């Protein structure tokens, strides 16, 4: 399967560098580039890429608002947004999660890390850079969220005990393989539980499932 990528950054040199790396892989193809958030939204709607590699700070429309517009569009439900950021310093990471970003990547990433991240996000199978992401989530999600952003107790009650357990493990940054080992089940069974929990809680992807785990108090900063 070939994974199509839209590269979004306001600096032409960075776009060219990322595009060259992505285009050198047999299973990846760059279908377009954009220099602003507004262009990113327009081209995502026109091209329907599998992954949008999204910078945050851009003119006209920043990457956060562009991400939100892309992930909230029903016609782009299969598009995954991979946000470019600096892990420890960028306080926009939580906003990106809320906007529907599927993962995060530092701009200093190497070629192998870049292509692996794109493949990971394309299949929606894991949250990127678990250690850095957990650290950020612990820092910003430990404070109360707006009521409109929380998941109701009624929706939590729709989970089985095993699904609730799986959400906790996802929130702690475990992969499907690690969840399987923890619960003594197969990776396929673990993935099935994760997918069912996502469906019941209305989570677009694994990243949003992590947010829900913190929003609802299933996982707290001290649990990491």
Taking the whole predicted model, whether its pTM rises above 0.85 is answered as no
Nearest CA among 185, 182, 152 for reference residue 170 = 182
Residue 159 has what DSSP assignment? Answer: S
C-alpha 22: how far from chain center: 19
Q: What percent of the chain has pLDDT over 90?
A: 48
User: Hey, which of 35-44, 109-118, 147-156 has the most confident mean pLDDT?
Assistant: 35-44
**Predicted local confidence at residue 149, as pLDDT:** 45
For 120-143, what is the mean pLDDT?
Answer: 60
**Predicted local confidence at residue 148, as pLDDT:** 40
For 45-50, what is the mean pLDDT?
Answer: 97
Q: Please state, in angstroms and as integers, the Cα–Cα distance from residue 63 to each residue in 1, 19, 28, 104, following that order.
A: 27, 18, 22, 12
Task: Assess contact for 219 and 129: CB atoms under 8 A.
Answer: no
**Predicted local confidence at residue 12, as pLDDT:** 95
Q: Is 157 left (phi over 0), alpha (psi -120 to 50) or beta?
A: alpha
Domain positions in the chain are 3-139, 147-218
* 3-139 has CATH 3.40.50.2300 classification: yes
Identify the CATH class of 147-218. Answer: mainly alpha
Which residues fall within 8 angstroms of residue 151, CB to CB, at 6 or more apart?
201, 202, 212, 215, 216
- How high is the mean pLDDT of the chain? 83
DSSP per residue over 134-150, as a string? HHHHHHHTTSPPPGGGS
């Amino acid at each position: 399967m070939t994974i199509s990528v839209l590269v979004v950054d306001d600096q032409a040199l960075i776009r060219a560098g990322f595009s060259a790396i992505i285009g050198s892989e047999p299973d990846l193809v760059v279908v377009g580039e954009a220099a602003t958030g507004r262009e990113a939204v327009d081209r995502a709607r026109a091209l329907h890429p599998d992954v949008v590699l999204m910078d945050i700070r851009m003119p006209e429309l920043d990457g956060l608002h562009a991400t939100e517009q892309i992930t909230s569009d029903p016609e782009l439900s299969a598009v995954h947004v991979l946000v470019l950021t600096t892990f420890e310093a960028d306080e926009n990471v939580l906003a990106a999660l809320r906007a529907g970003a599927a993962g995060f990547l530092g701009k200093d990433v190497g070629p192998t890390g870049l292509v692996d991240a794109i493949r990971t996000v394309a299949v929606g199978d894991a949250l990127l850079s678990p250690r850095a992401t957990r650290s950020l989530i612990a820092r910003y999600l430990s404070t109360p969220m707006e009521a409109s952003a929380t998941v109701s107790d009624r929706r939590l009650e729709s989970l089985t005990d095993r699904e609730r357990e799986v959400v906790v493990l996802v929130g702690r940054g475990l992969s499907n393989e690690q969840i399987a080992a923890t619960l003594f089940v197969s990776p396929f069974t673990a993935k099935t539980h994760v997918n069912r929990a996502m469906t019941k809680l209305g989570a677009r992807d694994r990243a949003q499932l992590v947010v829900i785990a913190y929003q609802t108090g299933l996982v707290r900063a001290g649990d990491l």
